[in-house]
Structure 1
Amino acid sequence: MTRDTPAPLRRVIVNVTVASFSLAALLGVLALLAGGEFGETQVRVLLTTLVVGVVSVAVLCYLATAGTAYQPVGAFGGLVVVVPLATSLLMIWSDGESSSEAVVEAFGVGTILAATLAQACLLLVLAAGRGAGLRVLLALTVLLATLLAVILSALVLGMEADDDVTARLVGVVAILDVLGTVVVAALAKLGPDAREAPVRGSVEVPADLLDEVDRWAAERGRTRQQVVEDALRSLLGTSPS
């Protein structure tokens, strides 16, 4: 998924993601409603449904960056999420025979990185084109999320550390990370930089032009609304009120 990924390809990815989870959900429902004893196979089907559902949500988070300057982050997330998907399915269906320490570690680290990248993708898209203050807060939040991911990954890989100190450090970083995420999301949608178009009607923009508007906005650190307003003012020869 490169920066120039066409809209039809993105739709294919979305359709495949939705179809995959729909199938997994159907199997999960059948496992619950099927008669007979609720056994190991049903448990595995339900766990598979859960895994596919979580991965589907992550993929949609990565796709939020499509057509923006942050699309490489989403593409990297799409690659990383394959690791926890594959290892989790291996552990669920392998009867424990293939659940070696390496597989468990790969699952743990892959899950941490995939979740961190999904968080980063959403925040980057939300804060695109906003004010300098919000961008600074975004950078600090992404830095905290990265630090948390590094610490947790190191612990999964067996890093020796003082349990009390490590627990306190993880707790502090996690709290600040969540706080930053909430504040960035709130300010991006409701803050002074969250400019909304007046509700006086609507104009339909062709999909290909909308992709170009998003790409132009991402390259120049502006919102879609600002780019459209600038283009109209330039065409009509008017100035901001």
Structure 2
Amino acid sequence: MADFRRLALFVTIGSFSIAALLGVLALLSGGDFGETEGRILLTTLLVGVTSIAVLCYLATAESRFGVVGVVGAVCAIPTLVCGLALIWGDPDFESDALLRAFGVGATLSATLAQVSLLLVLAASAPRYVRRMLGLTLVTVAWVAGHVCALILEFDNGGDVSLRLLGVMAILDVLGTVAVAAFAKFGGGGSKGERFEVPADLVPMLRARAEASGQTPEAVLRSLLQNDADDHRSDPATR
């Protein structure tokens, strides 16, 4: 898994580096800024956004949420292909079906990237943060489904529909920011000194985390909690 993650990271960064180089050359080349230069910049933007999404998916690679990242990658790759076809294809080749496919794919890819980050951030967070995450994921799913319904014209986009989408989108953003903030800075109790895990224990901790499908932080938290419970239940320690 670690080798695959490094390979995916190398390919992602390498692809975006090439696209970025082409974009810089297009801007610095002499002559008028024409259609070809515009297509190159759009390609750079598309590859860059896709690369960011892939990095979000890779964050789940060593956790029990790896399937979310895999599904995200499965959505992102054909979406990238559709986007490149729209950018470089002949105008007569463009169709409503291709535009809709790209719109739905982009929506799902962005949503799964968001979900990947939230799941990883909240994996070892306090229980109240995980409950907040559950409510946030409901709004995330609603917004994604609603946007896809509009793209596919299952929803006519009336006033009530758009107002409802706006409300859910606001709750989506609010929940995302709150979960990220509380998971990162909220802590699980009173503030105190931070300790580092000894270097010789790191391989063992990572091995147990990989075997159990959890993050190393979650494994360490579980071990400490179990030790504390055993200590409380042992009469000899009272």
Q: Tell me the TM-score range normalised by the shorter chain.
A: 0.7 to 0.9
Take 2:14 and 2:200, find their aligned partners in 1: how far apart are those partners?
A: 28
Quote how far apart the aligned CAs of 1:37 are. 1.3
Take 2:4 and 2:224, find their aligned partners in 1: how far apart are those partners?
A: 29
Q: Deviation digits for residues 209-236 of structure 1, max 9, x if unmatched? A: 45424336654996254257579x79xx
- Aligned in 2, Cα 1:129/1:207: closer, same or farther, shift over 3 Å? closer
Counterpart of 2:44?
49
Structure with greater proportional helix content: 2
Amino acid at match of 1:177: D
Q: Deviation digits for residues 26-74 of structure 1, max 9, x if unmatched? A: 0000000011111111100000000000000000000100111100011
Matches within 5 A, 1:135-150: 135-150=130-145
Alignment equivalent of 1:63, drawn from 42, 58, 61:
58
| Structure 1: stretches of 5+ with no match in the other structure | 1-5
Counterpart of 2:31?
36
Take 1:96 and 1:210, find their aligned partners in 2: how far apart are those partners?
A: 55
Counterpart of 1:101?
96
Matches within 5 A, 1:48-197: 48-161=43-156, 163-193=158-188
Take 1:201 and 1:64, find their aligned partners in 2: how far apart are those partners?
A: 22
The answer on whether the counterparts of 1:129 and 1:217 sit within 8 Å (CA) in structure 2 is: no
Amino acid at match of 2:111: T
SS of structure 2 residue aligned to 1:133: helix
Matches within 5 A, 1:208-223: 209=204, 211-215=206-210, 218-219=213-214, 223=218
Choose 44-53 or 200-209, whichever is displaced more. 200-209
- Aligned in 2, Cα 1:146/1:194: closer, same or farther, shift over 3 Å? farther
Take 1:24 and 1:211, find their aligned partners in 2: how far apart are those partners?
A: 35
Take 2:212 and 2:190, find their aligned partners in 1: how far apart are those partners?
A: 14
User: Kindly, what percent of the aligned residue pairs are identical?
Assistant: 44
Take 1:66 and 1:101, find their aligned partners in 2: how far apart are those partners?
A: 35
Take 1:192 and 1:98, find their aligned partners in 2: how far apart are those partners?
A: 53
SS of structure 1 residue aligned to 2:32: coil
The answer on whether the counterparts of 1:112 and 1:153 sit within 8 Å (CA) in structure 2 is: yes
How many residues are paired up? Answer: 231
- Aligned in 2, Cα 1:171/1:201: closer, same or farther, shift over 3 Å? closer
Alignment equivalent of 1:22, drawn from 17, 20, 35:
17
Give the CA RMSD over aligned residues: 2.8
What TM-score does the superposition give when structure 1 sets the normalisation length?
0.85
